[in-house]
Amino acid sequence: MRPARLDVRALVRRAAALLPWRRRRASTVTLPEAEDVERERLRDLAALLCEVGSELLRAGDRTAEVERALRDIAARYGMRARCFVVPTGLFVRVGGGPDGRGGELDFAPVEGPDLRLDQVQSLQSLVGRMRAGAMPFEDVRRELRAGREQPERFSPAATVLGYVLLTVGLGVMRHATVPAVIGYAVLGAGVGLLRLFGDRLPAARTALPVVAAVLVTAVSLRWAGPLLHEVPTVLYIPPLIAFLPGAALTLGAIELGTGAALSGISRLAGAINVLLLLALGILVGTELVKPRPLGGARSEVLGAWAPWVGVLLLGFGFLLYFSAPPRVTGWLLAALLVERFVQSAATDLAGATFGAFAAGALLPPMAAWIERRSRTPEQVVFLPCFWLLVPGAVGLTSVSELIVERGTAGLSNLVDTVITVAAIALGVLVGAGLQRRPRLRIGEPVPSGGAGTAPDGTAPGSAAHPIGGQDGGDVPADGSR
C-alpha cells in the first residue's frame, strides 16, 4: 500500500487562513433581511421619482417646481429627497440623513419631444394624486406608460388645420389684411405638413427649423409677397410659430431670477440656438431666390377687432394642434382673452414693458384659480398663455434683420425683446410669489392605531409614513423637508 502524499500547498492555505489579518481581510458582513428590503425600496423610489421628474420637464415645468413636486411625493412615502434638476436631466437621492449622506441615488435624462396638452393634463393629475397620498409603484409606472402611449385626439388633417389656425392667429395679431391672412393660411398649411412629416422621422427634427425657414422665405420672396402685394418679411415669420422659442426665453429668465443659473443658462442657450437656426434658414432663403417687385397697392389693415379674433384663432389652434382636452376649451379661450386685455390695457396705461409685466403677474394666480374651479391643471392654461405673451416672433424678426439686412433696426428690436422677456419673467415671479403653495414635510411618527397599511406596504403610523400637513406654515419636528 502506497503512503499518502503530503499536500504542502493545502497546509499553507489553511495556515494562512488562521492568521488574524487574513481573517479580517476575508470577512463579510451579511445585512439583515429587513435592511436589504429597505434598500431595494429606496432604489425603486429613486428610479420612480426620476421617471416622474423627467416627464414633468417634458411638460414644460420649471426646475424649481419639479424639485418641489418630487420632494412632496417622496414625503408621502416617508422619505427625504434631494434633487438636482436641469432641463436635460435630473439626479434624485432618496433617504439618508438631513446632511444628504446615505440613501440611494438615481439619474434620468430628459428624452423625447415635449408633451401634448392632453398628456400634460394626465401627468399633472397623476402628480396631484401622488402628492395627496402614496401610490403603489407599479400603478404609477403603468399610468406614466399609458400617458406616453396616449394617442392623439385628432386626425392628421385636424392637426394641420390647428397649425394653420395658429399661424393665422399670430399673423393677424401682428399685421391684419385680407391678402396677408391668405398668405398666412397657405404658408401655415405647408409648414404644418412639413412638421407632420418631421414628427414621423425623429432624425429630421434637428434640421427641420432650417428647412422650414428656407422654404417659407423663398416662397414669400418669390411668389407670396408679389402676388399678395405684401412685404415678404410680414409673411414668413408667423408660419414658423411652432419653432419660436419664446417660452424657453422667458422660462430661462425666470430660472436665472430664482437662482437656478445652470437651468436658466441652458434654456436661454437652447432658445438662442433655435433663433440662430431659423435666422440662418431665412438668410439662405434670401440668397437662393431673387425677390420680385411687389407692385400694386397694398391692402388696408383690418379694424381693431382683428387682434381679438387672432387671440381666439390662436386658442382654437392650440386645442387642435396640441391635442388639448375638449372640456378645457372655454377656460383656455377665456384665459387668453383676459391676458390679452390686461396686456393691452396696461400697455396703453404705461407702455409695452409694463403691459408685459402686468400680464405676466396675472398669469400664475389666474391659472391656479382655473385649476381650482375646473380641475384643469394650471400648466394646460399656462403654456398657451405663455405663447400669447412671449415675444418669440419679435426676437426672430430682430435676429433675422441683424443677419440678413445687417441694420441697426434689428439691434434695437433685439434690445426691446430682451426687455420684454425680462418684464414677463419678473411679472410671473411676482404673481407666483403671491400664492400660498402647499408643502409636505417629514414629521414625527405616531401610533398606528390599527388603521391598516399604506399603499406601498408601510404602516401609516410607522416612521416611513409622512405626517406633515399641506399648510406651508407647518413646522416639522426635525426641521427638514
Give the CA radius of gyration of the chain: 29
Dist CA 91 CA 110 (whole Å)? 11
Dist CA 283 CA 404 (whole Å)? 6
Q: Is 209 helix (H, G, I), strand (E, B) or coil?
A: helix
CA dihedral 271, 272, 273, 275 (to 10 degrees): 90
Residue with grid cell 403677474, as numbered in its chain: 361
Which helix (H) or strand (E) element contains residue 108?
A: strand 104-109
Q: How many helices (H) and strands (E) does the chain have?
A: 19, 3
Residue 160 in grid coordinates: 394641420
pLDDT at residue 38, rounded to an integer: 80
Name the nearest CA neighbour of 192 among 241, 231, 152. Answer: 241
Q: How many Å from the N-terminal Cα to the C-terminal Cα in the chain?
A: 79
Which pTM value belongs to this model? Answer: 0.77
Contacts of residue 210, defined as CB under 8 A and 6 or more positions apart, other chains included, come to: 277, 278, 280, 281, 284
pLDDT at residue 74, rounded to an integer: 92
Residue with grid cell 394624486, as numbered in its chain: 129
CB 234 within 8 A of CB 197: no
Dist CA 312 CA 332 (whole Å)? 10
- How far apart, in Å, are the Cα atoms of 266 and each of 50, 88, 295, 475? 19, 9, 45, 35
Residue by residue, pLDDT tens for the chain (481 residues) are: 455 555 555 655 555 555 444 444 444 434 344 555 588 889 999 999 999 999 999 988 889 899 999 999 999 998 889 999 999 899 999 987 766 677 888 999 998 888 888 898 899 989 999 998 889 999 999 999 999 888 888 888 999 999 999 999 988 888 889 888 999 999 999 999 998 887 777 767 778 888 998 999 888 888 887 888 888 878 888 888 878 777 787 788 888 878 888 888 888 888 888 888 888 888 888 888 877 776 667 778 888 899 899 999 999 998 899 888 778 888 889 999 999 899 899 988 988 889 889 988 998 899 888 888 887 777 778 878 877 876 555 656 666 665 566 555 556 766 777 787 888 888 888 888 777 666 666 654 444 443 334 444 443 433 344 333 333 444 343 333 3
pLDDT at residue 231, rounded to an integer: 80
Name the nearest CA neighbour of 368 among 456, 444, 434, 310. Answer: 434
pLDDT at residue 328, rounded to an integer: 84
CB 114 within 8 A of CB 387: no
Tell me the CB-side half-sphere exposure of residue 284, using CA atoms within 13 A: 14
